Amino acid sequence: MPGSLFEMIENLRLAWYLLRDSRINLLLRYGIPTLVGAYVLLPIDFIPDLIPGLGQLDDLAVIWFGLQYFLSTCPPDIVEEHRATVRRQAAVRPEPDVVDGSYEVVD
């Protein structure tokens, strides 16, 4: 499983960049997301969604394993190129909209 929520978000952003990259094989770009999406949307599950909690966990597990499989089957040089872009964008944080000032309470 992912080391942290930030790592999972980074991998999702990385997958988004890879899905849009024309250097990735079309079957890989559309095949894996289609299979994962079909599993999540179709009523056939390993664990039925009627069981609260467990039914959704198998969907999350399929999404996570599909994401990991997609990232592992993409060419490593392209993955690292996009991973560097994702990390560079995450490092640039906009400054918050803060106005320094003083106030005085008036009765």
Domain assignment present for 39: yes
Q: Specify the pLDDT at position 23.
A: 93
For the chain, the domain total comes to 1
The continuous run of DSSP H or E covering 70 comes out as: helix 54-73
Q: Specify the pLDDT at position 49.
A: 67
Tokens of 89: 């964008």
Q: Specify the pLDDT at position 4.
A: 76
The list of the chain residues with pLDDT below 70 reads: 1-3, 49, 93-94
Domain assignment present for 103: no
Q: Specify the pLDDT at position 3.
A: 66
Q: Specify the pLDDT at position 61.
A: 86
Domain assignment present for 29: yes
Domain assignment present for 64: yes
Neighbours of 38 (CB within 10 A): 10
